[in-house]
């Protein structure tokens, strides 16, 4: 693969999937925070966070949304497979971590070391494409979110991601219907789908769902 444009796209795709090293920590992470601004804002609004809510963010990357959740008074758990992102968040939010308001978990979404029904609200922005088994990841979120709790998922739909050559390297592409079906199969009721707009991505989807009680 000699095309420098494609090589750059492949490198960036790898960093987006699991930011690593000094480049991941000091260049990619703040960049992710900048481009995720619109999706983080919309996801935050859809979560409707109240002080004291136990909120989980999966795939927090640079930590922009973790900061918003903490500022809103939530008790936050951040889970990410990237050691570089865990290290960055540990430093960036050392005060909140020291106060016991932030727990950082180095793990994959499909194996969360959390008790069943221990989370009020969970969110994940631009991470779903990289989950090794999306159905298992969403089922694990259904396990840890209490009945009546909320899940917000933001992602670029397939037709949007296809505009960027990097999508060929490790991204799994989703349409709205597929994600809705995964949510419903895992015990969520989809409440709302909103289209958001930003710069890179131009267009993303934000699905809000409620964890249905076992007998509901
Ligand atoms: C493109 S970044 C998005 C980061 C941030 N949410 C944002 O929108 O800027 C994807 C993040 O998901 C994390 N991630 C990828 N696969 C994961 C998995 N299986 N479980 C948890 N986190 C994962 C990556 O390490 C990375 O931090």
pLDDT tens for 44-60 read 999 999 999 999 999 99
Residue 169, both tokens: 């390297």
CA of 60, closest atom in ligand 1: 6
Do 184 and 190 contact (CB within 8 A), yes or no? yes
Domains of the chain (ranges; CATH) run: 4-211 (3.40.50.150)
pLDDT 10s digits, 145-162:
999 999 999 999 999 999
Is the pTM higher than 0.95? The answer reads yes
Alpha carbon of 216 to ligand 1 centroid (Å): 32
Residue nearest to atom 1 of ligand 1 (CA): 16
Alpha carbon of 33 to ligand 1 centroid (Å): 12
Ligand 1 site, residue 58, Cβ cutoff 6 A: yes
CA of 79, closest atom in ligand 1: 21
Alpha carbon of 82 to ligand 1 centroid (Å): 8
Do 40 and 64 contact (CB within 8 A), yes or no? yes
In the three-class reduction of DSSP (H, G, I as helix; E, B as strand; rest coil), residue 144 is classed as helix
Ligand 1 site, residue 130, Cβ cutoff 6 A: yes
Ligand 1 site, residue 78, Cβ cutoff 6 A: no
Q: What are the pLDDT tens digits along the chain (216 aa)?
A: 579 989 999 999 999 999 999 999 999 999 999 999 999 999 999 999 999 999 999 999 999 999 999 999 999 999 999 999 999 999 999 999 999 999 999 999 999 999 999 999 999 999 999 999 999 999 999 999 999 999 999 999 999 999 999 999 999 999 999 999 999 999 999 999 999 998 776 899 999 999 998 754
Residue nearest to atom 27 of ligand 1 (CA): 61
Distance CA 70, CA 79 (A): 15
Distance CA 5, CA 32 (A): 20
């Amino acid at each position: 693969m000699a095309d420098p444009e494609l090589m750059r796209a492949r490198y960036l795709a790898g960093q987006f999937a699991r930011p690593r090293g000094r480049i991941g920590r000091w260049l990619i992470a703040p960049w992710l925070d900048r481009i995720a601004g619109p999706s983080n804002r919309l996801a935050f609004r859809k979560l409707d966070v109240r002080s004291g809510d136990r909120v989980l963010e999966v795939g927090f990357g640079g930590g922009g949304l973790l900061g918003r959740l903490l500022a809103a008074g939530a008790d936050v758990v951040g889970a990410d497979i990237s050691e570089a992102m865990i290290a960055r968040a540990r430093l960036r939010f050392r005060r909140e971590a020291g106060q016991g308001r932030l727990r950082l978990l180095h793990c994959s979404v499909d194996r969360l070391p959390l008790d069943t029904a221990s989370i009020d609200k969970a969110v994940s922005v631009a991470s779903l494409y990289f989950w090794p088994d999306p159905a298992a990841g969403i089922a694990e979120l259904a396990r840890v979110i209490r009945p009546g709790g909320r899940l917000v998922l933001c992602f670029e739909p397939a037709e949007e991601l296809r505009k960027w050559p990097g999508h060929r390297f490790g991204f799994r592409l989703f349409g709205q219907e597929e994600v809705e079906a995964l949510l419903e199969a895992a015990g969520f009721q989809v409440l709302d789908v909103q289209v958001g707009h930003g710069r890179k991505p131009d267009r993303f989807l934000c699905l809000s769902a409620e964890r249905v009680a076992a007998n509901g």
